[in-house]
Amino acid sequence: MRVNAGNLKKGEFVFFQGEICQVQKADFYSPGKGAALMKARLKNLISAKNVEYAYKSNEQVEVLDVASVDMQYIYKDQENLYFMDERTFNQSALPISVVGEISRFFKEGEKMFVYMFDDKPLTIRPPMSVRLKIIEADDAAKGDTVSGAKKPVTVETGATVMVPIFVKVGETISINPETGEYTGRV
């Protein structure tokens, strides 16, 4: 489907220079003189590189009809993350380089939405937060009452997260996977 570049939105998938890209950011820009522009940051889903591009607002852009499929994360190896469609039992692999750092917080068996185009996985829709159990943490030093003091902990996926000093081993915490930040105890 072709749309005016002025109507591009974050999260949409487009063809750009023969490759499938996801719009990471789209800002309308009117320079005062001349035609208005849509400045877009596009993530190439093959190379995982970001590209900045300024479309003329009336330029036609090919937007892809992408399905969001609920899948179960089953495991990862050195290069890929593997997901299974629980309705059809079909498995799909996504390169870790495309999914990015958020994969550090994925727990086997969790459900996620995978974006599919022509029965091929493109990327995932990251969860807003994940709940993980702390498996390793140092005890807080007695008298360490500095406002906002933090310590590193290791969660069950092996990722390290900075948390307030009062959080202990065995507790379950909530983490924003996009930023890697602690958001609270569960």
Encode pLDDT of 104-125 as tens digits.
999 999 999 999 999 899 999 8
For the chain, domain boundaries: 2-62, 67-125, 130-185
Q: Tell me, what DSSP letter sits at residue 140?
A: P
CA distance 162 to 181: 7
Is the domain spanning 2-62 CATH 2.30.30.30? The answer is: yes
- 3-class SS of residue 6: helix
Render pLDDT for 128-179 as a digit per residue (tens, 0 to 9): 999 999 999 987 666 556 667 899 999 999 999 999 998 999 999 999 998 9
Please check whether the two domains, 67-125 and 130-185, share a CATH topology. yes
Q: Per-residue pLDDT averaged across 49-57, rounded?
A: 91
* pTM, entire model: 0.80
Q: Which two tokens stand for residue 162?
A: 């900075």
Alpha-carbon 115 to chain mean position:
12
CA distance 142 to 113: 44
CATH homologous superfamily of domain 130-185? Nucleic acid-binding proteins (2.40.50.140)
Cα dihedral 93, 95, 99, 105 in deg (nearest 10): 80
Q: Residues 148-166, buried b or exposed e (16+ Cβ, 10 A)?
A: eeebebebebebebebebe
**CATH fold of the domain at 67-125:** OB fold (Dihydrolipoamide Acetyltransferase, E2P) (2.40.50)
Mean pLDDT across the chain: 90
